Amino acid sequence: MKKVITYGTYDLLHVGHINLLRRAKELGDYLLVVLSSDEFNELKGKKAYYSYEDRKQILEAIKYVDEVIPEYTWEQKISDVQDNNIDVFVMGHDWEGKFDFLKDYCEVVYLPRTEGISTTKIKGDLMAKNKEQ
Ligand code: C2G
């Protein structure tokens, strides 16, 4: 069984996330998503709208996703890959090169992002709409 791993906050789920998860799953047979905890989001300078538990439940409902575990630190990736017998690490190309150290442990793939959509854009558009009303 070829196991794939990817990481993220996955807040306010949108087609960019779904496109990433679908293509990640296509690279293997099992997709493990390591989901940023609320505390780790603070480290990343992100404030998710949905709690970790809600974001986890939403991800677990996606047919491409086989398992969701928490991301607490930047440093857990090597042990995550080893402990879960991962074959392929996947991230969007906004992270191009940042995780190449994992090439000693598994294949590393950066996929093109979906243009024109992001959680930040969604939040901004909603705020602008509210101001218009
Ligand atoms: N993504 C994408 N297209 C978009 C938006 C996001 O392909 N329009 C991808 C990102 O490249 C990432 C995944 O969807 O691979 C999740 O995006 P985020 O939730 O923003 O994740 P991020 O904050 O980049 O977390 O340790 C790594 C970090 O946890 C990555």
Which residues are near ligand 1 (CB < 6 Å)? 7-10, 16-17, 20, 36, 44, 71, 91-92, 94, 113-114, 117-118
Residues 101-132: tens digit of each pLDDT:
999 999 999 999 999 999 999 999 999 999 99
Q: Is 103 a catalytic residue?
A: no
Residue having the nearest C-alpha atom to atom 17 of ligand 1: 8
Long-range contacts: 93-100, Cβ < 8 Å, 24+?
A: none
Ligand 1 pocket test: pick from 33, 44, 62, 113 the residue with the most ligand atoms within 8 Å of its Cβ. 113
- The pLDDT of residue 1 is 96
Residues 31-40: tens digit of each pLDDT:
999 999 999 9
pTM exceeds cut of 0.75: yes
